[in-house]
Chains A and B, each alone.
Chain A
Amino acid sequence: MSTLDSKIPEGPVADKWTNHKNHINVVNPANKRLIDVIVVGSGLAGASASASLAEMGYNVKTFCFQDSPRRAHSIAAQGGINAAKNYQNDGDSTYRLFYDTVKGGDYRAREANVYRLAEVSASIIDQCVAQGVPFAREYGGLLDNRSFGGVLVSRTFYAKGQTGQQLLLGAYSAMSRQINKGKVTMYNRHEMLDLVLVDGKARGIIARNLVTGELERHSAHAVVLATGGYGNVFYLSTNAMGSNVTAAWRAHRRGAYFANPCYTQIHPTCIPRSGDYQSKLTLMSESLRNDGRIWVPKHKKDVEAIRSGKLKPTDLKENDRDYYLERRYPAFGNLVPRDVASRAAKERCDAGFGVNKTGEAVYLDFTAAIMRYGSEKAHTSHIHNPTDAQIRELGEKVIENKYGNLFQIYEKITDDNPYKTPMMIYPAVHYTMGGLWVDYNLMTTIPGCYAAGEANFSDHGANRLGASALMQGLADGYFVLPYTIGDFLADDIRTGEISTESPEFEATEKDVKDRLEALINNKGSKSVDHFHKRLGKVMWDKVGMARKTEGLKEAMAEIKQMREEFYKDVFVPGTVDEFNPELEKAARVADFLELGELFAKDALDRNESCGGHFREESQTEEGEAKRDDVNFAFVSAWEWTGNPSESNLHKEDLKFENIELKQRSYK
């Protein structure tokens, strides 16, 4: 077991980033033109990195598997983006955002990285407004904010429930401008299937043209992986259908350590599943918890009456409702962090209080907010003695203005009108805090291979706060990576173009070709989805919201066995040399079947509860997650050895110099 060098700069935490920028190597503008960079992924991190690197002068090649870079799944982020602007004059500051993020992550993130994130957050908002991102504004013309879970200030900027879309389109437009200039070459419908190392450095990728099926070699002086998270290892998640771990996993197999794979965020407010045919789960933004109150009935008899349709939730008296988050966490109430809210919902449902047929749903109720906003509006509109119906109507308009698109999504999926009856929600897999291990420069353990955004592990510890994913993706892409990558590339100003005719490219391409042909030629009897669904079930049941030794050991054995079965019995129709979505899926699921096992192994190894990782063996008397800072204040970085269950563990000790380690409390 070795200790990893995170290359955290010296000095006080508030000066580290500035000092670091002042002292790292810089490539002069003329030399940048001689250097190529590959960016894989076109979400917030990938698109913003591509645009910024190209503006600086590098030659950028960007890859996405979708039909357009604008489809990347960052587009689906709803609620908002945090920034320490203190526009609301509520005492926000860089330090406070830093503190909230470290605490929210249950003290399992690297202080220096999180401080830098908080430091650049304000610039992100300035940059996006300059690009024409239409954030929500107040009547005075200034930017509006809202609150998110786990914090006591209003620092979240938003664009209705489509903040991710607006930010991504901003980054996409910045990148489109560079495509127009010829500084970014865009490869749509191309999927990275392996990383090419030359002399131990990342010098290119093997990508498959998904339209023709052709394998292509692409070289560069550095490779940036901005390929998102791996939540789809659970089959059902809020991720897009195509979201996958393959690029990161292939880099892992080539030497990049994979950090904290077990840190997964189960988001508390998703639309519950309705049947076995379900292909994905849909999130309802956390911002709804600003105005929605979460409850289940207090008495079992009411639960049964509701499930059988004899009682409507709106008919249940206030006294007969259990607003369990407000009851358990009076200080933060409905705005506790996601991991806490998810576990509390599971606790109520496990105790038999779930309100739908499956027993896996709780209510998210807007009545109080509708009536409150309605009264306010009646007051400002000088309507005297308004009736309840009038107030409700006015209030519904205010709610529609804030969350209209979310309410519409909900209604389309469930056929229920959430203005009139409370929403039903249940936790679902949403985001993965784990990812490729990176140092302070965002470089993985492979020289020249970088990871940005959700694909890396660095900033969210064991639990991500709401509205911080967008912040991190854009911080990495606009303001961190474009500077830190120069430190590595400064050695390459005389290297010249990297040839794709080397034995390394040849060998890697052959590996990919053999892998794909083996899948096609297998001619088994079961579909790819068959295996993916089974893997997802094992992951959810045994490596999901609550984990224990026995279940984790079973999961490892079952996944290993499933992987063997997959290679014996999977059926992939069609050929390698054509547009073949089933083949794409098969290659992705093959990698999920390896990751899943490492994921369970990591969860087993971490015999403490922290953030989204809840070990039943490690809880307080009240059932809250109990950390073990003496034995587990480290990052687990796994090295590939040829078999997931035999991966080597490397530790990066986490030092907390600015924040005191405390048991998290939101009471």
Chain B
Amino acid sequence: MNLTLKIWRQKSPSSKGEMKTYPVKDISEDMSFLEMMDVLNEELINKGEEPVAFDHDCREGICGMCSMYINGEPHGPDRAVTTCQLHMRKFNDGDTIHIEPWRANAFPVLKDLVVDRSSFDRVIQAGGYVSVNTSGNSQDANAIPIPKENADLAFDAATCIGCGACVAACKNASAMLFVSAKVSQLSLLPQGEVEAKDRVLNMIDQMDDEGFGNCTNTGACAIECPKEISLDNIARMNREYLSASVSK
């Protein structure tokens, strides 16, 4: 198929960016979206032009690095996929495709489609862990049985890949889905319960400091989430936060 791409080009964090138009030809419908971008970049390089910078690494939907805002949706039109798992069969011959970086104050653009998501790391550093040191003598892994239902819910929350699609999808650029996934995972497990109160307060403080917006319950984040993290996690975090705020 032949396509017209309109892509955000921005030389550096401080420079002014603009949308530029690139035609691409003979794209196979079995290609992934990023392989289509590879084709474009190879052409640009062969013409002596600078290729489009974009983040990507595992190309199997798990590292969370790829991050394109395609036709107004993070990771494009398909559901439950990252950009690297989006395939060109979701598009039609002759389509015009708009490709932008994540847009959020807390995710400044570094170049073209590449943004800086270290704010997510700092939110985790504020409390997204259980404070146990490495030890060959921690108690046996089966010492505390955990109801399967809770273990499964914790796992579902823990599958968040930290890509930032939730923030990009949100009109307020809120990180509630991301933060609540980690808070939920640890509050659902007995190992995480001990520090649950400090954790939720510290992580939310950090989230606010980073400049993420507020949550107004539109639910766009959960729809666009490639790992289908549920809105229930936000409810759970709000409950944790409220109870921690009144008892601290």
Binding site for B on A (CB under 8 A): 48, 51-52, 55, 66-73, 75-76, 85, 87, 120, 123, 125-132, 134-143, 159-160, 162, 165-166, 169, 172-174, 176-177, 179-180, 186, 188, 211, 238, 240-242, 274-275, 277-280, 282-283, 405, 408-409, 412-413, 415, 478-479, 482, 527, 529, 571, 573-574, 578-579, 581-582
Known contacts A141-B147, A174-B129, A52 near B134 by CB under 8 Å? yes
User: What are the residues of chain A within 8 A of B133 when measuring CB–CB?
Assistant: 52, 55
- CB of B148 within 8 A of CB of A130, answer no
- CB of B78 within 8 A of CB of A412, answer yes
With contacts A173-B130, A478-B134, A573-B49 known, what are 13 further pairs, Cβ within 8 A? A67-B65, A67-B117, A130-B138, A132-B130, A132-B185, A134-B189, A137-B152, A141-B145, A142-B142, A174-B134, A409-B61, A415-B89, A573-B48
User: What are the residues of chain A within 8 A of B161 when measuring CB–CB?
Assistant: 75, 165
Pick the most buried of B87, B116, B125: most chain A CB atoms within 10 A of its CB: B125
Known contacts A131-B191, A479-B136, A73 near B130 by CB under 8 Å? no
Q: Quick check: which of B37-45, B207-215, B217-225 contacts chain A, the rest being far away?
A: B37-45
Residue of A nearest to B145 (CB): A141
- CB of B146 within 8 A of CB of A176, answer no
Query: Contact flags (1/0) for B129-171 with A, using CB distance below 8 Å?
Result: 1111111111111100111100110110011011000000000
- CB of B124 within 8 A of CB of A141, answer no
- CB of A130 within 8 A of CB of B63, answer no
Give Cα A240–Cα B51 distance, bound, in whole angstroms.
20
Query: Contact flags (1/0) for B54-75 with A, using CB distance below 8 Å?
Result: 0111111111110000000000
12 A-B residue contacts at CB 8 Å? A126-B138, A134-B154, A135-B151, A160-B155, A162-B62, A172-B124, A279-B34, A409-B60, A413-B85, A415-B30, A527-B42, A527-B45
- CB of B148 within 8 A of CB of A137, answer yes
Which of B49, B56, B57, B130 is close to A131, meaning CB atoms less than 8 Å apart? Answer: B130
User: What are the residues of chain A within 8 A of B159 when measuring CB–CB?
Assistant: 162, 165, 405
- CB of A125 within 8 A of CB of B141, answer yes
- CB of A211 within 8 A of CB of B130, answer no
Residue of B nearest to A274 (CB): B30
Give Cα A70–Cα B182 distance, bound, in whole angstroms.
14
Give Cα A179–Cα B38 distance, bound, in whole angstroms.
35
Query: Contact flags (1/0) for B111-132 with A, using CB distance below 8 Å?
Result: 1001011101100111111111
User: What are the residues of chain A within 8 A of B118 when measuring CB–CB?
Assistant: 67-68, 188
Residue of A nearest to B111 (CB): A579
Give Cα A130–Cα B89 distance, bound, in whole angstroms.
44
**CB of B31 within 8 A of chain A?**
yes
User: What are the residues of chain A within 8 A of B51 when measuring CB–CB?
Assistant: 573, 581-582
User: What are the residues of chain B within 8 A of A478 when measuring CB–CB?
Assistant: 134
Pick the most buried of B30, B32, B44, B60: most chain A CB atoms within 10 A of its CB: B60
User: What are the residues of chain A within 8 A of B185 when measuring CB–CB?
Assistant: 132, 134
User: For chain B, which range describes its interface: under 10, 10 to 19, 20 to 34, or 35 or more residues?
Assistant: 35 or more
User: What are the residues of chain A within 8 A of B134 when measuring CB–CB?
Assistant: 48, 51-52, 55, 127, 174, 478-479, 482
Known contacts A52-B134, A76-B60, A241-B56, A173 near B147 by CB under 8 Å? no
User: What are the residues of chain A within 8 A of B104 when measuring CB–CB?
Assistant: none
Give Cα A85–Cα B116 distance, bound, in whole angstroms.
42
Which of A136, A159, A240, A274 is close to B63, meaning CB atoms less than 8 Å apart? Answer: A240
- CB of B30 within 8 A of CB of A579, answer no
Residue of A nearest to B153 (CB): A134
Chain B residues numbered 156-202 whose CB sits less than 8 Å from any CB in chain A: 158-159, 161-162, 185-186, 189, 191-192
User: What are the residues of chain B within 8 A of A274 when measuring CB–CB?
Assistant: 28, 30
User: What are the residues of chain B within 8 A of A165 when measuring CB–CB?
Assistant: 62, 159, 161
* 9 closest residue pairs by CB, A with B: A141-B145, A173-B129, A134-B155, A129-B141, A52-B134, A134-B154, A240-B57, A180-B125, A137-B151
**CB of B235 within 8 A of chain A?**
no
- CB of B50 within 8 A of CB of A573, answer yes
Give Cα A410–Cα B81 distance, bound, in whole angstroms.
12
- CB of B57 within 8 A of CB of A132, answer no
- CB of A240 within 8 A of CB of B130, answer no
Which of A71, A85, A177 is close to B131, meaning CB atoms less than 8 Å apart? Answer: A177
Residue of A nearest to B36 (CB): A277
Query: Contact flags (1/0) for B19-30 with A, using CB distance below 8 Å?
Result: 000000000101
Distance between B8 CB and nearest chain A CB, rounded to angstroms: 15
**CB of B216 within 8 A of chain A?**
no
Distance between B168 CB and nearest chain A CB, rounded to angstroms: 15
Give Cα A239–Cα B240 distance, bound, in whole angstroms.
39
Residue of A nearest to B54 (CB): A581
Give Cα A225–Cα B85 distance, bound, in whole angstroms.
31
